[in-house]
Structure formats: structure tokens, C-alpha cells
Chains A and B, each alone.
Chain A
Amino acid sequence: MSDTEVAARLLAEGEVEIIAEWLRLQETEGGGGSGRISSAELRVQCDRFLALLRRGLNQGAETAQDAAFAELRDMLRDLSRSRAIQGFTPTETASFIFSLKEVTFRLLQKDVGAAWALNRLLDAFGLYTFESYQRAREEVIARQQREITELSTPVVKLWDSVLALPLIGTLDSERTQVVMENLLQNIVDLNAEIAIIDITGVPTVDTLVAQHLLKTIAAARLMGADCIISGIRPQIAQTMVHLGVDLNVVTKASLADAFALALRRVGQSVTRVVPAARAGA
């Protein structure tokens, strides 16, 4: 009988005991995530893990990558993912596996070979849990980054055929692409003649950012819309001149100035309304 089969047999014999002890350990060590997961749910997860582990061991699987453990790996991946999203700490997530080691070690003392085989497997599964946890967290970060990109590039309609694009945050190539596509699509949808790009919220303008801006402006021009840049802060103006960046487009100090110019270009004007009483006096 091989080590893994011995381990499987021993696990099967002491199953009730193992589950009880394992659950108790998780409760005390915080593996239960301090009430974020119900003990019934935890119990289901433990039962399932043990059953899948035994099945793999019975098939003679010696490493965690073995095909016999595919279902077990899937289960662990889902478990870590849901725990990562629920806000478990990495330790709490990994202790799901590591607390089992303590329990089984006591039980498998009778057979050193089986204990060692199981120990190695559980270590590997613990690491796998950790990796899945981290991957899930990274996915969350990537999603948030995407959302920020989308959120921070609104295109605002200021007047008939006048658009504003208030840029906030640093412009990198990826964001420029989103900004550009967004702006151009809006120019088509809203039938705009003039787009005001306000860079008050852009912390730094280096040659790369300037180049991105120029690309956007060139693309808008190809579609028949003019661009005005507004909100260049004094330090940025200085940096741009020292860097030798020449935007070669109409620039205005503030969004208000740019808007006034845009209105003039589309043949509109803003006038002060004189109240009738005062006009008569």
C-alpha cells in the first residue's frame, strides 16, 4: 500500500474527529474570519475539501498539480477568491489549509511516510490558496483602475456644438487612448464643432503628455472639430516652455475664457441682462 493510500485510509477512519478538531482550530485561530462566514458554511467547505483530498489520495496523486486534484484546486480557487472579496486577510485565508496540517499530523503519526506525503501536499495547497487569493486581489485592483480610467474622462456638453473635456490625473498612453476615443465619439454623437480640453486637473505635462494631447487634437481636427486648451497652470506653462513643447493650438487661461471664445466662434454671445426698472431710471 502506498503512502498516499495509507494517508487516505487514515483520513477516512478519523474523519469525524478531524472535522471537529479542524473547525475548532479555525474558530480559535481566526480562520473563520471573525464572523464573516457562517460556521455551517465553513463546515460544508471543510467536508468538501476533505472528501476531494481523499479522492485524490486514493487515486495515488502525489503532487498538488496532479490531474486527480483538479476539482480540489478549482474549489480552493473559488474559496480564496470569495474570501479575498469578502475582505479576509491573507493569513485568515491560508489558515484554512494550514490548520488542517496540525490536526492530521497528530493522526498520521503512526505512519511517517503517509504523514510526510500529506504534509507536502497540504503545503502545496496552502501556497495555491495564497496565490489564488493574491490573484483575486489583483483582479480587483485592475478592475478599479479600469473604472477610474472611465470615470475620470467625462465629456460635457457646454452648448450646442461646444464640448468640454475636463482632464483629471496623469495622462498615460492607455488613458489617452480612452480619452481620445471618448472625445471623438462624443463629437460625432453631439455634433460638436469645438472641443475645449481643460487640463487644470493634470498634475504634470511632459513631452509625452504633450504628444498625447497633440494626437487627440489632430484626430479631432481630422473629424472637423477644433480644439481649445484651457487651464494651463503657471508652473506647467514654464515646464512646457523649458522642455520645448509647442502645442501649436489655441490656448486660454481658464475654461471660462475658452468657453467665451468657443461661443464667439459658433456665432453666439453672452450679454448682461439689464433689469427693466434700472434701465428706465
Chain B
Amino acid sequence: MNRIPILRLGKALLVTIQVDMHDELALALEQDLTQKIWATGARGVLIDISALEVVDSFIGRMLHAIASVSRVLDAETVVVGMRPAVAITLVELGLELPGIRTALDVERGMTLLSRRDEEAEGDVERR
């Protein structure tokens, strides 16, 4: 079974979904990602879905689950590059993904994560 590669970029993990997600692949990704966050102590997860053309409620739920698990492990999830058609589909399905940060592209997503990191460090220094 093929798996979706998870790349490490500084304190963040980058997942680029370039194939059509089927359910098993999505479940495997959730598992791999959880393992990797735990192993690397990553602070952020970037999921690039710019190549994803088809979503269903299952993928929507999976994204939500990944975000929730990551938050428990103190990593923030940013979904980047969602296509207009995908966004409309998710909204029509009633999956507005509350609690997930979004960004237009990977670059903006990284900026978002690093800004959060800086703020967090600032907190520590103030203490």
C-alpha cells in the first residue's frame, strides 16, 4: 500500500496530498502523522491539498480528526491551498472545519506557523 510522505521542515511537518485520497490512505495518514508529531516534537502541521480535486465527508472528517489529534500533541494544523470547488463542496456538506487554520498556499501557511511560534516564545520570555 502506498503512503503519503510526511516531510519535516524546521519545526513543522509538511504533508502534500497529490493523489486521490481513498479512505484507507486517509486513515494511514492520520496514524503516520500522529506518530511523526510525537517522534519529532513538531509544533505545526501543514497539509497541502492544492492537488485534491474531490472531497467527501469522510476526508472532511479526517482533516478534522488530524487537527484535533495534533492539537492534543501541541501542534497546530494549517490546511493550505484548498480549491474553490472543494471549499464550496465542504461548506455544502456542512463541514466548515472549525478549529482548523487555513492559508492560501504553503508559504503563507509557514508564515502563519512561524508567527505563532514567535508569539509562544515571547510568552516564555515574559514569564
Q: List residues of chain A with CB under 8 Å of any chain B CB.
A: 180-181, 184-185, 187-188, 191-193, 215, 218-225
Q: Is the CB of A222 within 8 A of B82?
A: yes
Q: Which residues of A are found within 8 Å of B102, using beta-carbon distances?
A: 221-224
Given the known inter-chain contacts A191-B104, A192-B104, A193-B108, please indicate yes or no for A222 contacting B96, CB distance below 8 A.
Answer: yes
Q: Is the CB of B97 within 8 A of A187?
A: no
Q: Which residues of B are found within 8 Å of A220, using beta-carbon distances?
A: 87
Q: Is the CB of B104 within 8 A of A187?
A: yes
Q: Which residues of A are found within 8 Å of B105, using beta-carbon distances?
A: 191, 224
Inter-chain CA distance A187–B90, complex, in Å, is: 17
Q: Is the CB of A184 within 8 A of B87?
A: yes
Q: Is the CB of A225 within 8 A of B104?
A: yes
Q: List residues of chain B with CB under 8 Å of any chain A CB.
A: 79-84, 86-88, 90-92, 96-97, 102-105, 108-109
Nearest CB on A from B82, distance (A): 5
Q: Is the CB of B88 within 8 A of A180?
A: yes
Inter-chain CA distance A31–B102, complex, in Å, is: 65
Q: Which residues of B are found within 8 Å of A225, using beta-carbon distances?
A: 104
Q: Which residue of B lies closest to A188 (CB)?
A: B84
Q: Is the CB of A222 within 8 A of B104?
A: no
Inter-chain CA distance A181–B105, complex, in Å, is: 19
New A-B pairs, 5, CB < 8 Å, besides A222-B96, A222-B97, A223-B83:
A184-B88, A193-B108, A218-B96, A222-B79, A224-B81
Q: Which residues of A are found within 8 Å of B91, using beta-carbon distances?
A: 215, 218-219, 222
Q: Which residues of B are found within 8 Å of A181, using beta-carbon distances?
A: 84, 88
Inter-chain CA distance A184–B92, complex, in Å, is: 14
Q: Is the CB of B88 within 8 A of A219?
A: yes
Nearest CB on B from A169, distance (A): 21
Max chain A Cβ within 10 angstroms of own Cβ: one of B83, B84, B86, B105: B84
Nearest CB on B from A173, distance (A): 11
Inter-chain CA distance A220–B91, complex, in Å, is: 10
Nearest CB on A from B61, distance (A): 14
Given the known inter-chain contacts A187-B104, A191-B104, please indicate yes or no for A224 contacting B82, CB distance below 8 A.
Answer: yes
Q: Which residues of A are found within 8 Å of B88, using beta-carbon distances?
A: 180-181, 184, 219
Q: Which residues of A are found within 8 Å of B103, using beta-carbon distances?
A: 224
The 29 sampled A-B contact pairs (Cβ below 8 Å) are: A181-B88, A184-B84, A184-B87, A187-B104, A193-B104, A215-B91, A215-B92, A218-B91, A219-B84, A219-B88, A219-B90, A219-B91, A220-B87, A221-B102, A222-B79, A222-B87, A222-B96, A222-B97, A223-B84, A223-B87, A224-B79, A224-B80, A224-B81, A224-B82, A224-B102, A224-B103, A224-B105, A224-B109, A225-B104
